[in-house]
Amino acid sequence: MLIKNELLEIETAPGIEIYNITPQVIDVLTKTGINDGQVIVFSRHTTTALAINENEERLIEDLKVYLRKLAPESDKYLHNDLHLRDVPPDEPINAHSHLMAMTLNNSEVIPVVSGKLALGTWQSVLFFELDGPRKRNLLVQVTGR
């Protein structure tokens, strides 16, 4: 069995943004030559997330509205009491972003069959930036034969 790893770098926009990273994941898979196995996509950040869902413009906007309702930025959060903990000078007030990320996933596993991602017709790999703008890294690990 082969195991191949690659980091994807994504420069994100401010606020909540959702990116379709399916083409980048397919590129990584294609370079490996693996025909059957799996791809793991893992977010290396605590204020980002991953999901497999439909990449449809109106649904993406619905997702952003839903997440803002779930953890409103204006609510009071203990994590935001920066004066009560040791933090770097540029520490953001971002408890809401952490809470959103914890309700989603930080990784996705996608089967590989005959050299292709075994996604359904309307499925895409979506990357959620919940505290941008930032430079983010995702680990894509492909295993198989």
Mean pLDDT for each 10-residue chunk of the chain (145 residues)?
97 98 98 98 98 98 98 97 92 97 98 98 98 97 98
Identify whether 79 is part of a domain. Answer: no
| Amino acid 104: pLDDT | 97
Exposed / middle / buried, residue 41 (Cβ in 10 Å: 0-12, 13-18, 19+): buried
Identify whether 85 is part of a domain. Answer: no
Identify whether 133 is part of a domain. Answer: yes
The CA R_g of the chain, rounded to the nearest whole Å, is 17
> pTM for the full model?
0.96
Identify whether 6 is part of a domain. Answer: yes
* Total structural domains within the chain: 1
Residue 36 sits in which domain range? 2-73+92-144
Question: CATH code at 7?
Answer: 2.60.120.460
Identify whether 82 is part of a domain. Answer: no
Nearest to residue 80, comparing CAs of 90, 93, 89?
93
Identify whether 83 is part of a domain. Answer: no
| Amino acid 61: pLDDT | 98
Sheet order of strands, 124-132 included: 15-20, 124-132, 48-53
Identify whether 15 is part of a domain. Answer: yes
Exposed / middle / buried, residue 141 (Cβ in 10 Å: 0-12, 13-18, 19+): middle
